[in-house]
Structure 1
């Protein structure tokens, strides 16, 4: 962990707020490419529509679609409560990674920082996705800057109070930041997020398209408090070892204010309905909305209920809604991955 010093006064440093700050809207992207999803496309579209309709019960949702025909299909599936636009075409659905990261300054303003999305290290087509952040910021009339590193929104968690965390496997990786040291990447992340302290988690390279995004396993709940999803005790695969290591690192960490982190364990499901090797069985890939928390359920009644209770305790006063999005999560991501919140100024 490193303490970073900004050149400007605290009130002049734009800072990415925590996810639970009040939202103006949620941004999403409609999946449309069979070249990406193949025969799974229809099921994934159904899950994205369900997420959009669920979020729209709490706050406005804007869905980006690549063309008029696709937009029409999205409107049919999402309903009138979701705004669908074609002004920001996309290649895929992972809005958390392709959208700009929104920041507040100390004077009531909002701007955006662009993380230079490169298809998770050139693993997937991203001609339009690489331009989403700039186009979205322009549509919102926001000043925007480009970060001095390549990354994705799902790769970095912030508490909004000076501390961020990320996996080394995703950011300290030549497929994104070739030639940069960990210290250089750390400084660039802290500058972009307006943060002071970075907590690095080792992570896993090359096992999934993201190289192990932190938002699947570990999430800030509020300053000084994180949740970590732990696997069943009999699991010994690489992902299980990674989750236990994240829990250990965070249990020993302190944040930018010098607080020893409180780590809340959430136990993953013992069984899931999917047989996909890419399936993400994460309760913690949730999306916080105004007045609610949207998360997944997997058909393991006891673990589903326990996860819902844990989230309700972590976010008092918010309604916790669990939905079935197995087809999306069989594609390697979840609810948080497919959404990006825009905070109120």
Structure 2
């Protein structure tokens, strides 16, 4: 549907050009997007209060093969658990909406609303909007999803519907859309809500997303649409998974100045251990946008000999958890000791929330987790 009638013109600094008109060409100095009040729009911490959680109904048997039904049951399980704490909106293709409603339609405390928006897969963290807020204002950043840049590779899958879902969703809810001046995904962006971003070079400064753009140009684009004052970059690893090593499987803010770091469990490929070691070195020497040194807590992964899931794409990362209102939803993999350690570490990191462990083996078999399958819409801060 046309979105122009639902969109206010956001004001931007520099030459007062709206960022939606900049495309991939970023000016040498980019200024942060601002609300009509003049306040900077910032990506909030995921721990801030949510209006709702967005999810998506996996659509394609060509992607999931005979596992599609099981993956849908996992999505329904996650949606039901989140609905104990906040409303859930589930995107689904019009011809699949009835099935989604039937599977998710009972026992939801806050409700699960199925909206008919065509999609291809369940990874709404990556193709959905990334929200930014200011006092009295909210907008959604469309990071111009391009299927993780995997066209022509063994990871390629259909994404035409996912590529436009953010715009459609924002239009349906009457939320301003900002088109990012870089290509990326929500899973490649992690923030403390106070102006600090974490990101991997491998997933953003990559010719499969942003050809010809330097790291500084990508960073300026992130600053301009996400209200960031500082980006802490870690190398990551390109070409070894579909995301090129998203940050949300590696390091997460639990609070300003405090970071959870994924520590690979026994049986992990040595190349991912090297990624962890380099990330730990960088984070331990880093300061955030306000000059604080980061306190780093390691979150050990399970022993891959003892987990239920198998396969090279299986994501055995507890760090891909999701914080809902009052809860932390985290995978449980079947290694009883490691599952228990993860529970204790996350409960200590989020003392005011319930830690809910879920079997999501079917989702994890596709290389993602609970965080990848969710996107939060934050509450708008009160106007001054």
Q: How does 1:132-281 map to 2 (within 5 A)?
A: 132-232=165-265, 235=268, 237-270=270-303, 271-281=306-316
What SS does structure 1 have at the residue aligned with 2:68? helix
Shift of 1:300: 1.1
For residue 340 of structure 2, the aligned residue among 289, 305, 318 is 305
1:233 and 1:133 map into 2 onto residues whose CA distance is: 38
| Equivalent residue, structure 1, for 2:71 | 44
Q: 1:137-178 CA deviation, whole Å, 9 max, x = no partner? A: 111111111010000000110111010011111001000000
| Equivalent residue, structure 1, for 2:24 | none
For residue 74 of structure 1, the aligned residue among 100, 120, 142 is 100
2:163 and 2:32 map into 1 onto residues whose CA distance is: 30
What SS does structure 2 have at the residue aligned with 1:321? strand
Q: Is the 8 A contact 2:32 2:41 kept in 1?
A: no
| Equivalent residue, structure 2, for 1:328 | 363
Shift of 1:16: 0.7
2:287 and 2:258 map into 1 onto residues whose CA distance is: 10
Q: Is the 8 A contact 1:117 1:150 kept in 2?
A: yes
Shift of 1:331: 0.6
1:276 and 1:329 map into 2 onto residues whose CA distance is: 10
| Equivalent residue, structure 1, for 2:117 | 88
| Equivalent residue, structure 2, for 1:120 | 148
2:371 and 2:268 map into 1 onto residues whose CA distance is: 24
What SS does structure 2 have at the residue aligned with 1:111? strand
1:63 and 1:155 map into 2 onto residues whose CA distance is: 22
Q: Is the 8 A contact 2:32 2:223 kept in 1?
A: no
Q: 1:108-140 CA deviation, whole Å, 9 max, x = no partner? A: 211111100011103321111011111111111
How large is the Cα RMSD of the aligned pairs?
A: 1.7
| Equivalent residue, structure 1, for 2:3 | none
Shift of 1:5: 8.1
Q: CA separation of 1:246/1:140 partners in 2, compared to 1, >3 Å: closer, same or farther?
A: same
| Equivalent residue, structure 1, for 2:26 | none
Q: Is the 8 A contact 1:311 1:320 kept in 2?
A: yes
What SS does structure 1 have at the residue aligned with 2:244? coil
What SS does structure 1 have at the residue aligned with 2:209? helix
Matched, 1:343 2:378: yes
| Equivalent residue, structure 1, for 2:322 | 287
Q: How does 1:19-58 map to 2 (within 5 A)?
A: 19-58=46-85
| Equivalent residue, structure 1, for 2:10 | none
Output the TM-score relative to the length of structure 1.
Answer: 0.95
Q: Is the 8 A contact 2:32 2:227 kept in 1?
A: no
Q: 1:278-311 CA deviation, whole Å, 9 max, x = no partner? A: 0101111111001110001111111111111111
The count of residues paired between Structure 1 and Structure 2 equals: 340
Shift of 1:274: 1.4
Where does the alignment leave 5 or more consecutive residues of structure 1 unmatched? none
Q: Is the 8 A contact 1:13 1:194 kept in 2?
A: yes
Q: Is the 8 A contact 1:71 1:84 kept in 2?
A: no
Q: Is the 8 A contact 2:100 2:114 kept in 1?
A: no
Q: Is the 8 A contact 2:101 2:114 kept in 1?
A: no
Q: Is the 8 A contact 1:5 1:196 kept in 2?
A: no
Output the TM-score relative to the length of structure 2.
Answer: 0.85
1:152 and 1:328 map into 2 onto residues whose CA distance is: 18
Q: CA separation of 1:185/1:138 partners in 2, compared to 1, >3 Å: closer, same or farther?
A: same
Where does the alignment leave 5 or more consecutive residues of structure 2 unmatched? 1-28
User: Which segments of structure 1 move beyond 2 Å, counting only runs of 4 or more?
Assistant: 4-11, 79-87, 232-236
Q: CA separation of 1:141/1:33 partners in 2, compared to 1, >3 Å: closer, same or farther?
A: same
